[in-house]
Chain A
Amino acid sequence: DVKVTQSSRYLVKRTGEKVFLECVQDMDHENMFWYRQDPGLGLRLIYFSYDVKMKEKGDIPEGYSVSREKKERFSLILESASTNQTSMYLCASSPTLFRGAKNIQYFGAGTRLSVL
């Protein structure tokens, strides 16, 4: 069965702290994604990675960085957390299939981060 695991369901951090959100997938997928979900805005892509040590900015990368040292793990880093980064963070992974194919992204359960 497909499994994407996010290390924490809930996190509370202080403004200015460095925050690490971890995501692990067990499906040997090439692609991994970090999204942010806010009410009325849907899901917005922060960063994605298509291979180990490879990353690409999404739509809202400001204030975030990522790390992918191993294929199964993709970390989202808030270098200095701010209150406007309080949100739900979702990790996803997908395989690289032949071009044009149905390519499903599989999601973790999400991390609800509060920055005080």
Chain B
Amino acid sequence: AQKITQTQPGMFVQEKEAVTLDCTYDTSDPSYGLFWYKQPSSGEMIFLIYQGSYDQQNATEGRYSLNFQKARKSANLVISASQLGDSAMYFCAMREGVGNEKLTFGTGTRLTIIP
């Protein structure tokens, strides 16, 4: 089974609208962390936001927020007031267990913002 599933290969969104990128995960470990990265056309992966499995509140970083629904094993990224510069690939990733440094990535969603 896939550890991280991103079901939207591509999305088109009008500028200034909010957008939700889906991510579901699969783990039996009670301790895990969820990450979102952005990859512009330049290629570099940029860290956006993190949610720990024991965090009580949803993570927020500026225009980015993470809609964490633990029972449903989903960790959707919400971008408010989208901008042209948000056009990029977005990857969801998970780190399982304590002391494990490795990340497992999803297949990514290509977001295109339309002016």
Contact = CB atoms under 8 A, between A and B. Distances in A.
Given A41-B107, A96-B101, A104 B35 contact: yes
A104 B35 CA distance: 8
A94 B93 CA distance: 15
B98 A42 contact: no
A108 B39 CA distance: 11
B102 A58 contact: yes
A32 to B, nearest CB: 10
Given A33-B102, A90-B43, A104-B50, 8 more contacts: A31-B101, A42-B105, A43-B105, A44-B105, A92-B45, A103-B33, A103-B95, A107-B45
21 contacts: A9-B43, A40-B9, A42-B105, A42-B108, A43-B91, A43-B105, A44-B105, A45-B102, A45-B103, A50-B101, A88-B43, A90-B45, A92-B45, A94-B101, A100-B98, A103-B101, A105-B103, A106-B47, A107-B44, A109-B44, A112-B43
Contact of B91 (A42, A48, A112): A42
A40 B107 contact: yes
Interface in A38-94: 40-45, 48, 50, 58, 88, 90, 92, 94
Contacts of A108: 44
Contacts of B103: 45, 105
A9 B42 CA distance: 10
Nearest to B59: A102
Interface string B6-30: 1001000000000000000000000
Nearest to A58: B102
Interface string B25-68: 00000010101010000111111001010100000000000000
